[in-house]
Amino acid sequence: MAKTKHIKIIKPAVKAGQPAQSEMPPGDGCIPIK
């Protein structure tokens, strides 16, 4: 996106396109609580 006057994009800490740093597949070991 072109540079703008009112919106300053913040750079992420890792290069875009790299997998998110999820350490485990999501959903495992969810504790059933009612």
Half-sphere exposure of 16 (CA within 13 A, CB side): 3
Shortest distance in whole angstroms from residue 15 CB to another protein: 9
Shortest distance in whole angstroms from residue 21 CB to another protein: 4
Contact 14, 21 (CB under 8 A): yes
- Integer-rounded Cα Rg, in Å, for the chain is 18
Question: What is the binding site for another protein (CB under 8 A)?
Answer: 1, 4-14, 16-34
Shortest distance in whole angstroms from residue 1 CB to another protein: 5
